[in-house]
Structure 1
């Protein structure tokens, strides 16, 4: 009995040393065997990796991407953006001024202008590259398709052009005084944008005279009035705009009223004495918001697929919607060798090569990556999940010290998957005992069981007053980036040439 108590005490001390409260798993330990003590060891297992072409990714985001960029390695990719516009519940246009009732405000001219304003705060690539953007009115309602291979041709007609505008991401026509002007709170008042002037009669006067029921909410507005907008680049290569918002704005002509009498002020300027005071203002009436559908389209050149097929002595991750790295984890080998032992830590490291480029605006390694079971790939993003450190993990790129993505402990993933297979085998046996005609196809069951993806992601955090950060959201990275990683499926002498090493630290009982 003393020996058993001593063994239990040593086991507790060892597991505490390895910090295993949340990250260890037991492979077959049912009870403490007779022993004189325990010891910790480290061993390695080979992990085979390969590049996987990601035709599309789930992208539920309010940021739109528009432009074209060509990379010497991966070729070109184009980004375009489709969005509905939100209509506030119970929206009403301002009323025309009634001189008898002294109600309303607008003059008989009412709407004097309509424009589409595309706001952006950042971009990738050359800020002075000459580009041109086209805006189209959608002819069909958008489906709730959040994947980046959405086909814009299903939703718009090339004849429904709203306008074209030439631009550079950094607008040199804006003076420094205007660009850096601030309000009373010290916030910048200039917001980079691109304007499209719309037909005032079609998108102003006609809308003003429509029944109020058409503007009851966003659904009736989209169904009866305006389906949405498609923005695409039709000239220029080397710049991708990150669009924050698309506003449909209307310019109103209105009387300047006395606050007390609600009667128009009379002008005193020479040549206009006695006339009613009139002014104009722009108002954002409809805008792209998270309440309506927004969809990004990314189209990579065939060069990306060719790289995946032909380069097998390393792997890649590339965003947006380009390449994942797939890793096959050796669960069976771990179970066979370490059954009866306790996993303390399982470390998996992806090291990326230092890549040099003469291009001033070359892509850099994604900041964050997600390690995720292949079978959970779709549901993870579609259901807006967060990493649970059980079957999904995130890390930040260590670009300074090691140039690596290091998952320091995925032991819980290993034990979860091993136990999952053990449970499936037991269930299959029970079913076979009850019905001899039932068989278990282990190879088919294992099809995606041992496979994980390494995926570039973007992460959002909330920060408390004490400085503590809490992850609030994660999604596929939609900004340009890539990393070339050590590994790959290439073979030499019948064995994988460059396998990664899964480093396993475990506790065993001395015999």
Structure 2
């Protein structure tokens, strides 16, 4: 037993020296005596692949997306429509009614103006592309504690307040470079790009009361009951459920929305002076922000049918499915241990010259097809047993999975799985934290979610022989006396 333990400890060093069967048949004898020989064998097998439509995926990205883009490589389109709510701090307060100087003919307080600003730092495409959107008022908030998918549509699900009932449906043409703002504002160092939706038209609330604009509605509701503005639940359910920003026209740009901000502007008297005040209701991680994505599924299916390669495309676009040759791998090796199973997925370089081509997915996970939904629904992390993470490797121009032996063993001893032998490659976003300092610093993955950014790449494969994808297996076995 002691000799077996020593041999097992040295196995990792052996694996690095293994190249083919011709050099491994007698390797065990060089480690221990002939009483208990450790034999090591290596073999390679072809892996079949195909493209599968992702369909709707669980949407847990902390970034919102708004816009419409056409992939220069595949000509497929993707549209992102954003739903956002607003967060209220527990100590929120507005100035006393008597200090608000903005008044109407009846001496009632009013807001001079009101707007929503969608702030972004990163975007895809051409910032001068002309786009159109409509800002829809929600009739009820999207509740926490539920799983939402990338195709969640607030309109179809009855969350949008109809315009004929007084709901806001503010239309806006825009470019990501906003020329409606003065140059001296846009040229400031601390200027943050944003899409402005002005809510200055007459507004009728659910009780049939009319206000000169949405900001006045908020001001007066606060004066009626300030406590509703200090409780997030009551603010969402009684005052402002949120807004849905839907792309109505144009293509060529998509912004990654970091913050949605609702502003009220009014004159406030302080120390005998009159000044403009902006009150902010900001979207944060504490409230929901969901993107509804729509793809050209007809074109996606055509891409999935193409031979000689497969695709990875996000958001909610295309995954690559592999059929692992488990029966071939295990044939004649039923009593062996699989110590290593390495697979490399090589890219086919993008041949387009457009400066707006989509990014290469930087991180992907491999997991059994049958675990696809549960992995993301249950917020699991790659465990290097039945789910594996790989980063794009520029040197190999692909994704290297150094050892997926756990998945091979899973299939070898559980043949009742509906999608037996099949794994899926899924582009993901990672949330990480740093622990420790100096040489002891480590990056820890705390969350893995579907990649909702615009990425696309082709992978070699999807041939009748599977020659473009191979899996390298290393077996070991103790030959007892």
Judge same fold: TM > 0.5, yes or no: yes
Q: 2:444 aligns with which of 465, 470, 495?
A: 470
- Give the whole-Å Cα distance in 2 for the aligned partners of 1:192 and 1:38: 64
Does the CA-based 8 Å contact 1:131-1:167 persist in structure 2?
yes
Tell me by how many angstroms 1:124 deviates: 0.7
Aligned equivalent of 1:353, options 348, 357, 362: 348
Matched with 2:282 is 287
Give the TM-score of the pair, scaled to structure 2.
0.82
Aligned residues: 435
What is the CA RMSD across the aligned residues, in angstroms?
2.8
Q: Secondary structure at the residue paired with 1:389?
A: coil
- Secondary structure at the aligned position of 2:234 is classed as helix
Query: What TM-score does the superposition give when structure 1 sets the normalisation length?
Result: 0.78
Unaligned runs of at least 5 residues, structure 2: 17-31, 104-108, 201-210
Q: Secondary structure of 2:382's partner?
A: coil
Counterpart of 1:40 in structure 2 is 40
Deviation at 1:123, TM superposition (A): 0.2
Gap change, CA 1:309 and 1:354, over 3 Å in 2: closer
- Judging changes above 3 Å, is the alpha-carbon distance between structure 1 residues 474 and 7 closer, same or farther for their aligned structure 2 residues? closer
Kept after mapping to 1: 8 A contact 2:57/2:149: yes
Please give the alpha-carbon distance, in whole angstroms, between the structure 1 residues aligned to 2:355 and 2:406.
42
Q: 1:205-229 deviations in whole A, cap 9, x for unaligned?
A: 3333332353342222222222211
Q: Deviations over 1:108-133 (max 9, x none)?
A: 64533221111111101112222233
Indicate the structure (1 or 2) with the bigger Cα radius of gyration.
1
Aligned to 2:84: 83
Q: Quote the Cα distance in structure 2 between the aligned partners of 1:479 and 1:226.
A: 29
Partner of residue 68, structure 2? 68
Q: 1:497 to 1:108 in 2, by over 3 A?
A: closer
- Determine the C-alpha separation between the residues in 2 that align with 1:212 and 1:417: 60
Q: Distance in 2 between matches of 1:176 and 1:384?
A: 45
**Pairwise mapping of residues 153-232 of structure 1 onto structure 2 (< 5 A)?**
153=155, 154=157, 155-156=159-160, 159=163, 160-171=167-178, 181-182=188-189, 189-199=190-200, 201-210=212-221, 211-232=225-246
1:162, distance to aligned residue in structure 2 (A): 4.3
Contact 1:345-1:505 within 8 A present in 2 as well: yes
Equivalent position of 1:451 in the other structure: 422
Aligned residue runs from structure 1 range 218-297, under 5 A: 218-257=232-271, 276-284=272-280, 286-297=281-292
Distance 1:86 1:34, change over 3 A: same
Q: Is the 8 A contact 1:47 1:329 kept in 2?
A: yes
Deviations 1:35-74 (CA, angstroms, capped at 9, x unpaired):
4522322112332211110111111123111111123524
- CA drift at 1:392: 1.3
SS at match of 2:257: strand
Q: Is the 8 A contact 1:77 1:299 kept in 2?
A: yes
Q: Following the alignment from structure 2 to structure 1, what is the Cα–Cα distance between the partners of residues 43 and 339?
A: 12
Counterpart-to-counterpart distance in 2, 1:299 and 1:510 = 58
Q: Secondary structure at the match of 1:230?
A: strand
Deviates more, 1:150-159 or 1:170-179: 170-179
Query: Helix, strand or coil: the match of 1:107?
Result: coil
Answer yes or no: is 1:405 the counterpart of 2:399.
Answer: yes
The answer to whether the 8 A contact 1:91-1:217 is kept is no
Q: Does the 8 A contact of 1:96 with 1:108 survive in 2?
A: no
Provide the rounded CA distance (Å) in 1 between the counterparts of 2:396 and 2:381.
26
CA distance in 1, matches of 2:187, 2:42: 58
Q: 1:486, 1:498 within 8 Å by CA — same for their partners in 2?
A: no
Distance 2:11 2:260 in 1: 58
Shift of 1:140: 3.8
The 2-side partners of 1:17 and 1:251 are apart by 72
Q: CA deviation at 1:446?
A: 2.7
The 8 Å contact of residues 363 and 391 in structure 2, kept in 1 or not, is answered as yes
Q: Which residue of 328, 332, 335 corresponds with 1:337? A: 332
Q: Secondary structure at the match of 2:393?
A: coil
Q: Which residue of 2 aligns with 1:506?
A: 475
Offset of 1:174 from its aligned partner?
6.6
Cα separation, 2, equivalents of 1:11 and 1:63: 47
1:134 counterpart residue number = 134
Distance 1:172 1:463, change over 3 A: farther
Paired residues of 2:49 and 2:466 also in contact (CA < 8 A): no
* Structure 1 spans left out of the alignment, 5+ residues: 20-31, 98-104, 183-188, 258-275, 422-441
2:51 corresponds to = 51
- Aligned twin of 1:479: 453
Match of 2:6 in 1: 9
Q: 1:302 to 1:108 in 2, by over 3 A?
A: closer
After superposition, the C-alpha distances for 1:248-296 in whole angstroms (9 at most, x for unaligned) are: 1112322222xxxxxxxxxxxxxxxxxx321112120x22222222211
State the Cα distance separating 1:484 from its structure 2 match.
1.0
1:175 positional shift: 7.8
Q: Which deviates further from its counterpart, 457-466 or 295-304?
A: 457-466
User: 2:475 aligns to what SS in structure 1?
Assistant: strand
Residue 209 of structure 1: SS of its match in structure 2? helix
Give the one of 288, 292, 312 matched to 1:317.
Answer: 312
Instruction: State the distance in 2 between where 1:241 and 1:397 align.
Output: 24
